Amino acid sequence: MAKDPPGDSTRAVHGGERSHQASDAVTTPIFQTSTYWFPDSETLKAFQEGRLSRDEYGRYGNPTTRAVERKLAELEGAEEGLLLASGMCAATTLFLALLPQGGHLIVTSDCYRRTRQFIEQYLVKLGVETTVIEPADNKKFDDAIRDDTKLFFTESPTNPYLRVIDVPETARIAHARGVKVVIDSTFASPVNHRALDDGADLVIHSATKYLGGHNDLLAGAVVGSAEHMAPVREATGVLGGVSDANSAYLLLRGMKTLALRMERHNDNALRVARWLEDHPKIRRVWYPGLDSHPDHEVAKRLMSGFGGVVTFEIESDLDGACRFVDACRIPYIAPSLGGVESLIEMPVIMSFWDKTPEQRQALGITDTLVRFSCGIEDAEDLIADLDQALERV
């Protein structure tokens, strides 16, 4: 009888650690060192020739960070994982490693503003051309592919409208034309969607969010096959955007409760989204778990849960939306997502206040758009808080 693979919680707790401990400690220690010594020259030669696997210098690896990388790989069903200093560092390092000078990149319009900024301000200096398409439109994706297209990069779900990409179909189209598919799965987490299983070549995370889960660290991650990871790992050694052992330790601790936390995030967000959709002061709600979401059927097919972020528009103006946000008592007004504490923000102020109204409109950012990242508080308390805050609108 074939043995079933371990479940999400078992992999989250034990993955990458139990069989790799250098001591009898249950918890992987913090290896607080920048460099590692060799007992003799023969040992160093064996290391340089690939006959010995061990650490040499902190920029190339650390036992604490390697434990995180192994756990990430197990959670995502990947051959290898790579830990970096932040989610943005993961994205920028990947772009620099995989895009040749003068190459072509395809991205979706609904994405994190700093990713868009890096593409517009820095990749252009390398002669990289970028085509922006609407999310979840595979016809436009197929039409956008050129002979020099190297990568398709998208979030799934996207930020802030939570569009869900049909990864199997996207990968089919891309691979037929020699294009790699990179999915930023931060909003999903490996508990809700394993994009590699659906054909993606590489997956990245802002590990600051759900993976860490406690708003107390910065980290990023890339996972994939050994072949696809090799140039990204090499680039990290050159560019130097590595995580430190203390952050890796916090991330290890946070990841052990990932599956449990995601159950509550998923449940809270679905209940909040359904409640908001029935409220007379809410114009529209975007949440993949709702029938009204444009990608609901894709999300049901690919995802085991729909995440903890709910985006909605209030039937009001900028001042009314501000009164609502200011009246909330449980969530903190803050950027980010994925922690145990609920967070709330208005993208127009938090991320796009320096843009003109016309620029915001082009990006789909309205004055009354709210992004609510549900924590793990009691859903009844979150809904009651939203209810009293909407009375101020």
List, in order, residues 6 or more apart from 106 with CB less than 8 Å away: 130, 131, 132, 133, 141, 144, 145, 149, 151, 152, 153, 179
CA distances from 227 to 2, 98, 173, 198, 220 (A): 29, 12, 21, 18, 20
Pair type for strands 104-108 and 129-133: parallel
Residues in the chain: 393
Pair type for strands 104-108 and 149-155: parallel
- Two tokens, residue 381: 């308390």
CA 271 to chain centre: 23
Which amino acid is residue 82, in one-letter code? L
Strand positions, DSSP E, the chain:
80-84, 104-108, 129-133, 149-155, 180-184, 202-206, 220-224, 282-286, 309-314, 332-333, 343-345, 369-373
Residue (of 270, 275, 279) closest to 391 by Cα position: 279
* 3-class SS of residue 157: coil
How far, in Å, CA of 19 to CA of 144, rounded? Answer: 46
Pair type for strands 149-155 and 180-184: parallel
Work out whether the CA dihedral 355, 361, 362, 364 comes out positive or negative.
Answer: positive
CA distances from 303 to 32, 73, 97, 320, 323 (A): 38, 19, 29, 35, 35
Look at phi and psi of residue 178 and say left if phi exceeds 0, alpha if psi is from -120 to 50, else beta: left
How far, in Å, CA of 256 to CA of 237, rounded? Answer: 28
User: Would you name the residues annotated as active-site residues?
Assistant: 59, 112, 184, 209
- Two tokens, residue 385: 């808080």
